[in-house]
Structure 1
Amino acid sequence: MADRKNSEAVPTRHSNAIPPPSFPTHNSPRTWFITQALSPMAIRLIRLLLAHGDYVVACLPPHDLDNEVISGEFRELADECRNPSSGRYKDREGWKDRIRGIRCDGRFMGQCGAAVAEAVHVFGRIDIVLCCSSVAVVGSVEELGGGAGGKTPNLLSQNLVRDQFETVFFSQVNYIKAALPQLRSQRTGHILALSSIGGHIGMPGMPIHTAATWALEGYCDSLAYEIAPFNIKVTVVQPNTEVQTLSNKIIFAPSMPEYDAAAEASAIAAAQASAAAAAAETQGPGGDNLSAADLIEAPTPSLREMLNRVLDLYGENVGFSTTAVAATPSVASPSVVSPAASAASGPSSTTASAAPTVRYPRLPTPALDRLVLETVHALAAIGGHENPPTRHIVGFEATTSVQDKLKTVSEELEDFVEASLSVDIFDSELKKEAREGRAAQLAAEAAAESAAQLAVELE
C-alpha cells in the first residue's frame, strides 16, 4: 500500500487520533455491495463512499428495517439523499442516484441472488463485496441450550446458536456465493469480510459468536486460494470485538446462577491474590501495615455485566424473533426489561427470565465515531486495492492483543513438541533411526563446513 503514503503528517502507532480517510487509486467510481447497511458503522462508511463518488448497494434485512430503533439512522441518511436541495444537505447532491437500497434477508439464497442481479442491472458491475452482518449472542455454552443435569432444555436459547451462525456465517456465505459468478465474469473483484479479533482470541461469555467468527475466517482463507486465478481478492478485516458488538444487536441468553457464582468467586480470588501481593510490598521496613483486605478492589465484572451497564445508559430493548418454536409458556415470549428497571435491579436483571433479552446500543454520536471510524477508514482504504492484505487488524490495541495471543500459542507449541516426542512410538526403533539419521546429517553438515573453512584458509 505504498501508493497511499504521502508527505502529510501521519499519527504514530500509539496515537489516539482517528486516521484521515484515504482511498486506493482507481480510474473510475467503484460499486460497493454491502450485505448489512443498517449498523452505525455501515452508515458512516456509506457516507464516506458517496462523498468520494462511489456507488453503493445497501442490503437491508427486512426484520431489522421494520424496527425503528435499528433502522432510524439509515432512514435519516435516505432522507438526506432524497432532499439535498433543502439547503442543509447541499453536499449530498447526486447521492440518491448512486445508492440503491434492497430489502434482502441473507439467510435465503434466492434473495441474495436477486439482490446481486439488481445491483448489476442498476450499476453494471460489482467491485467490492463487504460482508458485515453481525449480531452478538452473549451466554456460556450451557446457557445457550441448557438441558444439562436433567434440566429442561430452553428451545429459544438453543436456537440462538443456529441464529448466530445464520447471521455471522451462513448469510455471508450466501452473499459470496451469489456474487462469485459476476466477479468471475468480470475477472476482477474484492471480497471484504468484516470479522473481529475474536477470530484469534476466544472470549468467555461469547463462545458461539467466537465459533461463528472462526468459521467465517476459515472459509475466507480457503476461498482466497480458490478464486485467486480469477483475479478476485479476499481480505479479512479484524477490529476489536466491541466494534461489532456495540454497533449491532446484542442478545442475552438466560443466565445460570451457577456461572454467576463461579465468575464472582474467581474474580474475588484474583483480587485477593493481587491485594496480598501488593500488601507484601507495602509492609516493608517502616511501611504502613495495611492488610490485604484493605487493598482488595471490587471484582472485575463479567462480560454480561459490562455490556448491561453500557446498555443501561445507552441502549434500548428491541423486538425479538427466532426460528424456535416455543415448547412451553415459560419460553413463549422474550424478556423485555426497561433500562430504568434494569439499572435498579442491577446487571443481572435479565437472568430471571426464561427467554433471551434483545437490546440495541444507542451510543452518543461522538462515542460511536470514536468506536467505529478507524474501522470505517480501514475498509475505505483497503477496499478495491490492487494488492490488498489477506488479513488486516485494525488499531494498535487490537494488534497488541493478537500478538500476545500468538506469543502464547508459540509457547504452547514448544510444549506440544516436547509432549509429542515423549509418546511411546518414539521409544521404539523409530526413535533410534531418527536419532541416527539426524546425527549423520549433522556430521555431514559439520564436515562440509570444516572443508569450506579449510579451503578459505588455504586461499
Structure 2
Amino acid sequence: MKANIRSRVRRRDFISMWDEFVGDVRYYEVKGTHRSLISPPYLVGFWQVFSRVLEDRGLVDRHGALRSASRIAMAERKMSEAVPKIQIPAASFPTHNSPRIWFLTSALSPLAVRLTKLLLAHGDYVAAGLPPAEIEDEDRSAEFKELINECKSGRKDREGWKDRIRGIRCDGRVMGQCGAAVAEAVEVFGRIDILLCCTSEAVVGTVEELSTSSATQNLVRDQFEIIFFSQVNYIKATLPILRKRHNGHIIILTGITGHIGTPGMAMYSAATWAIEGYCDSLAYEIAPFNIKLTIVQPNKEIPVLTNKITFAPQLPQYDSANNPAPGLRDILTNVLNSNPDTKISPSDQKGKNGKEAIISRYPRLPSEAKDRLVLETVHALTAIGGHENPPARHIVGYEGVASVKEKLKTVSEELEDFVEVSCAVDIFKSDVGTAALTGPKVDMVGGGSAVGGGVHLGQPGSS
C-alpha cells in the first residue's frame, strides 16, 4: 500500500512538471466514487520519453522522485560538464551463412541511418531508398550524407563500407520508380534478401479537422499514399524476385497504432491498420514460397518523432482549453518548440488569407536523444531480419506490450460479455457454438516468445 501511495505522489509530481512542458495533459477516469489520475494508453510512450528527459536534466532521481533545490543545482553543475555518450550494447543478428542484402524503402530517418550503420558493420549490404523530397532537404538528409562520407573516409573500421551501400532515389508513390529501384538493387548486389518498409509520416488532426477544406482532405490522401500505397508498391515490385528465389523476408515497420487508435491521429491510425491488414493477408499468400513477413510495432513516438509531422488547422472546439482529454497536438507542438529551428510561431499558423495554415516540420532532437529513442527498435530489427522463423508480429518495448495487452484484455472481456448474443444468431447449433459459450477463454497474447523486450506471434502455418 505504501509503495502505491509513493507511486501516486511521484506521478502527481511528474504531472505538475509535465503540464509546464506540454500543457494540460491530465486525463481523469471515473472509478466508482473515486477519480484516479492516469495517462491514457496513447500517451504511455511519450510519458516514458518525458520521464527520461527529467532524469537526464537531473530534476528527478532514478526512482522518479523530485530532487531538492540543492540537488537540482548540483545536477545543473554536472550537466554543464562534458556528458559521456550513451554506451550502446552490441546488436544481435540471426545465424546466416553469407552477408544479406537489405532494401530500405526510406533510409534518411534517424532510425534507418543507425540501422544502416549496424548492418554495414556486420558485413551486410544495404540498398538505401532515398525519397526525392527528403534527400533535397539539407537537414533531413544530413545524417545520411554524413554516413556516406564515413563510408568513403578510408577509416580502418569503415573499410569496405562504400562498396556495400547504394543510395537509390525513388518516390515510393510511383510504381514505375519502385520497380526501377528494385531492379537497380538486384543489378548491383545480385539479389534482395530482406525488404524493410520503413516509410512514415504523421498527419495530426481530428477527423473533423481533416474534412474542413480540399487542402485538409488532400492531407488524408497523402497520409495513405505514404504509409499504405508507397509501401505496397515496394512489396509488389519485390515479390517476383523473392518468389523466384523461393526465399526472403519482408518487414513492415508500423507502430502500436496498429492496435490502439489515437485521438488526433485518426488517419495515421487508419493508414497503419490498412497496411497491417494488407500484410496479414499477404503473409498467407506468400508462405508457400518460403517468404516470411513480419510486422514490427514500436511505440508511436518512434515513427512520429523521427519523420515529418504535418498539422492540420485546429478547430476551436478541439482546443485543449475546451477539450479535457489530452491531445498529442500539444505534446508534439511543445517538442517542436523546444528547438528554435522548428518552433511554430503564431505567424506560421496564419495563412495568406487569414485562415489557419497547414504546418509541416521534421523534429530535430539531440543525437543522444535519437540514439535512446530508436535503440530498442533498431536492435529488434537486427535480431529479426532474415531470421529462419521470424515472428509474424513483434511489439517493441514493455510499454507497447502493456498497452496492447490492455487493449486485447478489453476486447476479450467485451467478447465474453456478449458471446451469448453473438451465438444467438446461429440457425444451426453445433459443437463449435457450444464451445464458444462454455469453453475456456482464449489467451490472445500468450504463446509467443520475447525478443528485444517485446512480444511476437508466429508465422502462418508455423508451430
Change (3 A) 1:229 1:173: same
2:382 and 2:430 map into 1 onto residues whose CA distance is: 53
Look up the equivalent residue of 1:165 and give its one-letter code: F
Change (3 A) 1:392 1:17: farther
1:385 and 1:158 map into 2 onto residues whose CA distance is: 41
Shift of 1:341: 3.2
Query: Does the aligned pair in 1 maintain the 2:333–2:344 contact within 8 Å?
Result: no
Partner of 2:48: none
Aligned counterpart for 1:110 among listed residues 172, 176, 181? 176
2:313 and 2:323 map into 1 onto residues whose CA distance is: 21
Identical amino acids, percent of aligned pairs: 64
Query: Does the aligned pair in 2 maintain the 1:316–1:360 contact within 8 Å?
Result: no
Are 2:409 and 1:407 aligned? yes
Per residue, is there more helix in 1 or in 2?
A: 1
Shift of 1:90: 3.1
Partner of 1:160: 219
Shift of 1:354: 3.1
Are 2:235 and 1:231 aligned? no
Are 2:255 and 1:196 aligned? yes
Shift of 1:62: 0.4
2:89 and 2:121 map into 1 onto residues whose CA distance is: 17
TM-score, normalising length: structure 2: 0.71
Aligned counterpart for 2:144 among listed residues 67, 70, 74? 74
Shift of 1:219: 0.7
Are 2:276 and 1:217 aligned? yes
Look up the equivalent residue of 2:277 and give its one-letter code: G
Partner of 1:171: 230
Q: Which runs of 5+ in 2 are unaligned?
A: 1-85, 439-463
Q: Which runs of 5+ in 1 are unaligned?
A: 1-15, 147-153, 268-299, 318-338, 443-459
1:158 and 1:354 map into 2 onto residues whose CA distance is: 15
Other structure's SS at 1:56 match: strand
Partner of 1:304: 329
Change (3 A) 1:315 1:396: farther
1:179 and 1:340 map into 2 onto residues whose CA distance is: 40
Aligned counterpart for 1:354 among listed residues 347, 353, 356? 356
Change (3 A) 1:350 1:136: farther
Change (3 A) 1:434 1:81: closer
Partner of 2:103: 33
Question: Can you list the C-alpha shifts for 1:269-317, whole angstroms capped at 9, x where unaligned?
Answer: xxxxxxxxxxxxxxxxxxxxxxxxxxxxxxx742100000011013745
Partner of 1:145: 211
Partner of 2:376: 374
Shift of 1:220: 0.7
Are 2:328 and 1:258 aligned? no
Question: Can you list the C-alpha shifts for 1:195-219, whole angstroms capped at 9, x where unaligned?
Answer: 1000000000100000000011111
Shift of 1:134: 0.1
Question: Can you list the C-alpha shifts for 1:341-390, whole angstroms capped at 9, x where unaligned?
Answer: 36xx9xx9579853310011111111111110110010011000001010
How many residues align? The count is 349
Are 2:407 and 1:341 aligned? no
Question: Can you list the C-alpha shifts for 1:212-270, whole angstroms capped at 9, x where unaligned?
Answer: 0001111111111101111100000000001000000000001100111xx54452xxx
In our comparison, the structure showing a higher alpha carbon Rg is 1
Other structure's SS at 1:361 match: coil
Bigger shift: 163-172 or 18-27? 18-27
The CA RMSD over aligned residues, in Å, is 2.7
Change (3 A) 1:17 1:213: farther
Partner of 1:128: 194
Look up the equivalent residue of 1:209 and give its one-letter code: Y
2:322 and 2:120 map into 1 onto residues whose CA distance is: 51
Shift of 1:155: 1.5
Aligned counterpart for 1:45 among listed residues 115, 121, 124? 115
1:308 and 1:172 map into 2 onto residues whose CA distance is: 28
Look up the equivalent residue of 1:308 and give its one-letter code: T
Partner of 2:153: 83
1:97 and 1:138 map into 2 onto residues whose CA distance is: 40
